[in-house]
Amino acid sequence: MKIIKELLLKISAILNRNRKSKILFYHDVYSHTQYTDMGTNVNMFEKHIETIINCGFNIVPKITEKYNQVQLCFDDGFKGIYDTKDIFVKYNIKPTVFLAVDLIGKEGYLNKDEILELQDKGFIFQSHAWSHKNLTEFKETDLEREISGSKKYLTDLLGRDVDEICFPIGFFSKEVYVACINAGYNILYSSIPGNYFDFIIFDKVKTRNLIQFYSPEIVKSVLFGALKPFKLRYIKNHFVK
């Protein structure tokens, strides 16, 4: 099945070939200690980075151009990105890390001091809501704590305005979208694959391409549009009407 999937992605990259800017995302990078089974070994991560660079894409903190830029994101705030921070410094990578307030300081996750140290190195921290649960299942008052409460907490912790949020587990709805906009978030990140400037149901909702388990060859395919055919399926699964 793995061989068939890789073959299909390579074919898809040929059929949908483009150099449009994209967000690529992971959950963690680890060296000796692996804090989650969603982690990517640091040696493989470095191969991913070299693949992105060799394909002519620029790794940037924020995407500003329609073509040839890649933004890297990490969900949940696992501790491995602190252990492997030197690899980010080596390649001058300033990733966006989405923090769920309830997870900060728990075993296997970044604590406050580590977050602030990484921020000093250029890491960009944004909200992953408060409890890292499906936002579409909360009632209005609890949803406000998840969205507005996490924004205020992280803004106070980081000493700068937190104005972006990533939907936990990828699920969102019209009600969640409106609540995020009303809370003052300017960019909302989904787990739907695609190009950065693709329109996904609402303005300000951005696509992201999960690559944490892929080989460098498949990362190359994703860079050139291999996940495009899966976009509608992800929208159907993640957007709750």
- SS3 percent helix, strand, coil of the chain, rounded to 5, is 45, 20, 40
Amino acid at 136: T
Q: Which residue has the tokens 């040929």?
A: 14
**Which domain does 162 fall in, by range?**
2-238
pLDDT by residue for the chain (241 residues), tens only, comes to 777 878 888 999 999 999 999 999 999 999 999 999 999 999 999 999 999 999 999 999 999 999 999 999 999 999 999 999 999 999 999 999 999 999 999 999 999 999 999 999 999 999 999 999 999 999 989 999 999 999 999 999 999 999 999 999 999 999 999 999 999 999 999 999 999 999 999 999 999 999 999 999 999 999 999 999 999 999 999 999 9
Number of domains in the chain: 1
| CATH number of the domain bearing residue 134 | 3.20.20.370
What b-and-e string marks burial along 141-153, b requiring 16 or more CB atoms within 10 Å of the CB?
Answer: eebebbbbbbbeb
Q: What is the pTM of this model?
A: 0.96
